[in-house]
Amino acid sequence: MKFGTVLRADGVAVPVVGRNMGLVDLAALGADRGMSVPVPGRAFIIAWESGDVGLKGLVAAACSDDPAGLPMLPASAVRFLPPVPDAATVLAVGLNYRTHCAEQGKSPPEAPMFFAKLTSAMSGHGAPIPAWSVTAELDFEGELAVVIGRGGRAIPEALALDHVFGYTILNDVTARDLQRNDRQWTRAKSLDGYAPMGPLVATRDEIADPQNLRIRTWVNGQLRQDGGTDDMAFTVARIIAVASEAITLRPGDVITTGTPSGVGVFDKPPRFLVPGDVVRIRIDGIGELENMVVAGR
């Protein structure tokens, strides 16, 4: 299943299931069949992970029934929200791709290097990336993000992937000058609109091996990043295990896992994003996230 959250034309946020021909409105499908559907986000994930029979059956119908009999929404008619719009935590991992370390002349760290992106930075597919006046060095980072399904603390690495609800795409937008001058990363990584993600989450059964995914980023149609998750210094399972040693993970938490080489700051000369630029990130098996840079204030 590919799951997401959209704002319909009537202003109602609903959970959706992605199909090749569009999006199935699960709230409307549930209403048609006399059942209520959990609100999008954490409540939906908790119900899914608990094995809610009615929800599982409804999703199965959304995935397999004739689209002619389903409440379909064209992607062009909705506004995509973050797939988990009420995520309580967004953790990120720095310097987790060997190629990204190499382009900086660094070795990978000895353990995953965590930092936080504020949830206020979250946005969805198609949302603008503001070029705020506080930065002159706006950059992109295409990343695989993990959505936690079953929470926990001190999760064993061998069981960590069982705690995953699914996988999505996140652009770890970064103000490089703030990152450099602040000497820590919270502000540089958390300006409003600096965590676009989605459009959808591919549930864990759709991704046989999160360490065997190709990730590419284009800016204005020019390929800038082309890597694979097999280049990670620390696997998804290891990241979850180490994060949960210190932080209790909860359903709907997001962990974004680092970026491959090719970001703008390490081009020669550096190439930063400006209003009008379009950043498109593709992870095979998950989808494409696209956002345009717009002038901020």
Residue 5 confidence class, pLDDT cut points 50, 70, 90: very high
Residue 85 lies in a domain: no
As a whole-number percent, the residues of the chain with pLDDT over 70 amount to 100
* pLDDT for the residue 156: 98
Q: 114 CB contacts (<8 Å, ≥6 apart)? A: 91, 92, 93, 94, 242, 243
Domain count, the chain: 2
The β-bridge partners of 251 are none
* pLDDT for the residue 288: 98
Read off the pLDDT of residues 154-167 as tens digits, 9 standing for 90 and up: 999 999 999 999 99
Assess whether 54 and 97 both reside in one domain.
Answer: no
Residue 51 confidence class, pLDDT cut points 50, 70, 90: very high
Tokens of 111: 């353990």
b/e sequence 140-153, b meaning 16+ C-beta within 10 Å: bbbbbbbbbbbbbe
Handedness of CA 117, 104, 101, 82 (dihedral sign): positive
Assess whether 72 and 119 both reside in one domain.
Answer: no
Read off the pLDDT of residues 263-297 as tens digits, 9 standing for 90 and up: 999 999 999 999 999 999 999 999 999 999 999 87
Output the domain CATH number for residue 151.
3.90.850.10
Residue 216 lies in a domain: yes
Assess whether 50 and 164 both reside in one domain.
Answer: no
Read off the pLDDT of residues 199-250 as tens digits, 9 standing for 90 and up: 999 999 999 999 999 999 999 999 999 999 999 999 999 999 999 999 999 9
Give the pLDDT mean for 108-118.
Answer: 96
* pLDDT for the residue 69: 95
* pLDDT for the residue 297: 75
Assess whether 257 and 135 both reside in one domain.
Answer: yes
Report whether the peptide linkage leading into residue 269 is cis, meaning its omega lies within 30 degrees of zero.
yes
Residue 20 confidence class, pLDDT cut points 50, 70, 90: confident
Q: Which domain holds residue 290?
A: 90-295
- Report whether pLDDT(174) > 90: yes
Assess whether 55 and 117 both reside in one domain.
Answer: no
pTM score: 0.97
Residue keyed to tokens 């599982």? 56
Residue 175 lies in a domain: yes
Assess whether 169 and 98 both reside in one domain.
Answer: yes
Assess whether 218 and 283 both reside in one domain.
Answer: yes
